[in-house]
């Protein structure tokens, strides 16, 4: 009888300020710059069996700065850029909803997916057989860490520098 776990661990990354610089609603080709060590960190986690997920608030859609299609294209380009460096992103979840939406289609006073709410994390856990007890999140804001806490996993604050060094230190070497 196979007693191997049917779920796997994951690392959830915020996008802006963690994988790419937070340049203020990044969505253009010139905004697609990796944080130092980003590809190496994702590759390291892949090699250790972690499923890597991006969870990102994207109120720029709600605010009318760019379209949902532009947001999706930018996220796809980021996944491709990382993949070209051997770093696999398993899934991307983005929340374009915001209470200050210009477009009523994206208005929501407190969307369950918008961090600090845990909706994106919880959906990823269900969609990809993730074990939250063996998973964690890396973000650059307290709202990221609060979303992780509400999803039942630790969150770690990345304040810049080399992301691979940060991940290596988190993992104990």
Which residue among 14, 113, 144, 164 is the active-site one? 14
Instruction: Give the CATH number, domain containing residue 33.
Output: 3.40.50.1000
Which residue among 16, 140, 144, 164 is the active-site one? 16
Question: pLDDT means per 10 residues in the chain (173 residues)?
Answer: 71 98 94 97 98 98 96 98 98 97 94 98 97 97 98 98 98 86
- Judge whether 173 lies within some domain: no
- Judge whether 2 lies within some domain: no
Please indicate, yes or no, whether the overall pTM of this predicted structure exceeds 0.85.
Answer: yes
- Judge whether 142 lies within some domain: yes
The Cα-based distances of 115 to 68, 90, 99, 120, 139 in angstroms read 18, 20, 13, 8, 11
Whether 16 is a known active-site residue: answer yes
Whether 164 is a known active-site residue: answer no
Q: What is the pLDDT of residue 14?
A: 98
For residue 51, what are the domain limits? 10-167
Q: What is the pLDDT of residue 167?
A: 98
From CA 91, how far away is CA 105, in angstroms rounded?
24
From CA 7, how far away is CA 16, in angstroms rounded?
28
């Amino acid at each position: 009888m196979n007693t191997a776990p049917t779920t796997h661990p994951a690392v959830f990354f915020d996008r802006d300020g963690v994988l790419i610089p937070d340049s203020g609603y990044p969505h253009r080709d010139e905004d697609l710059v990796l944080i130092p060590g980003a590809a190496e960190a994702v590759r390291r986690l892949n090699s250790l069996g972690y499923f890597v997920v991006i969870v990102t608030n994207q109120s720029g859609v709600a605010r009318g700065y760019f379209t949902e299609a532009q947001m999706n294209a930018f996220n796809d380009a980021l996944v491709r850029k990382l993949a070209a460096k051997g770093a696999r992103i398993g899934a991307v979840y983005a929340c374009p909803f915001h209470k200050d939406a210009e477009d009523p289609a994206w208005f929501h006073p407190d969307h369950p997916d918008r961090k600090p709410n845990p909706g994106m994390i919880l959906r990823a856990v269900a969609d990809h057989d993730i074990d939250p007890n063996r998973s964690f999140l890396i973000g650059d804001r307290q709202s990221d860490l609060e979303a992780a806490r509400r999803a039942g996993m630790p969150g770690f604050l990345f304040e810049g520098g080399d992301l691979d060094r940060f991940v290596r230190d988190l993992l104990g070497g």
